[in-house]
């Protein structure tokens, strides 16, 4: 499984490193797509978000996928030094969920990596996908009926184009 994930992570890290330096006008419009994220919690504390993520995974019966991310003062979250240096010759490195990983699972993301999210928060995401996805609607409904009455959907643009 890890042999498969390394090329995927490498491609996604490349996206993060380059895409945040560019804005929509510098890239072809067709390479950006709106994605929506179902959020059950946001906090400035990683430890608090980790507790909430574990609780949400158990309550909702969704898998917990922290993607081997760890807190980092510079980028909010980062992959391991080895992963970052192998893929980009630099550390730390982080890309948020949303590029090629739509679905129902619990993760922690750092809000500053998204263009339109409030900055500086650890966000507990339980699902992401296309804006009008029935899966997102059902995840939101489930969250709201199982103790997460403040759950909401946030939409942002995600770059899907080639990075070379």
User: Quick one: DSSP state of residue 75?
Assistant: T
Q: What range does the domain containing 60 cover?
A: 2-159
Determine which helix (DSSP H) or strand (DSSP E) holds 8, and give its type and residue range.
helix 2-19
Whether 93 is in a domain gets the answer yes
CB 80, CB 63: distance < 8 Å: no
Whether 28 is in a domain gets the answer yes
Closest CA to 42 of 150, 146, 133, 138: 150
CB 77, CB 62: distance < 8 Å: no
Whether 119 is in a domain gets the answer yes
Tally of domains within the chain: 1
Closest CA to 46 of 136, 154, 123, 151: 123
pLDDT digits (tens, 9 = 90+) for 102-138: 899 999 999 998 889 999 999 999 999 999 899 999 9
pLDDT digits (tens, 9 = 90+) for 28-75: 567 778 999 999 999 999 999 999 999 999 999 999 999 999 999 999
| Distance of alpha carbon 57 from the chain centroid | 16
Whether 64 is in a domain gets the answer yes
Whether 164 is in a domain gets the answer no
Q: 104-141: buried (b, 16+ CB within 10 Å) or exposed (e) per residue?
A: bbbbbbbbbbbeebeeebbbbbbbbbeeebeebeebbe
| Beta pairing partners, 106 | 64
Whether 90 is in a domain gets the answer yes
Whether 155 is in a domain gets the answer yes
CA–CA separation, 154 and 111 (whole Å): 11
pTM of the entire predicted model: 0.80
Residue pointed to by tokens 């909010």: 76
Residue pointed to by tokens 């090629």: 100
Whether 33 is in a domain gets the answer yes
């Amino acid at each position: 499984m890890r042999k498969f994930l390394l090329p995927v992570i490498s491609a996604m890290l490349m996206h993060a490193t380059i895409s945040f330096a560019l804005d929509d006008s510098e890239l072809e419009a067709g390479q950006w797509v709106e994605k929506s994220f179902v959020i059950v919690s946001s906090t400035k504390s990683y430890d608090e978000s980790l507790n909430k993520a574990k609780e949400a995974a158990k309550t909702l019966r969704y898998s917990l996928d922290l993607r081997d991310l760890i807190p980092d003062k510079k980028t909010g979250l980062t992959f391991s030094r080895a992963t970052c240096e192998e893929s980009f010759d630099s550390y730390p490195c982080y890309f948020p969920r949303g590029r090629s990983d739509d679905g129902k699972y619990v993760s922690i993301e750092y809000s500053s990596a998204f263009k339109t999210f409030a900055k500086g928060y650890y966000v507990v995401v339980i699902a992401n996908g296309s804006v009008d996805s029935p899966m997102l609607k059902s995840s939101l409904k489930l969250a709201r009926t199982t103790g997460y009455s403040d759950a909401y959907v946030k939409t942002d643009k995600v770059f899907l184009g080639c990075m070379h």
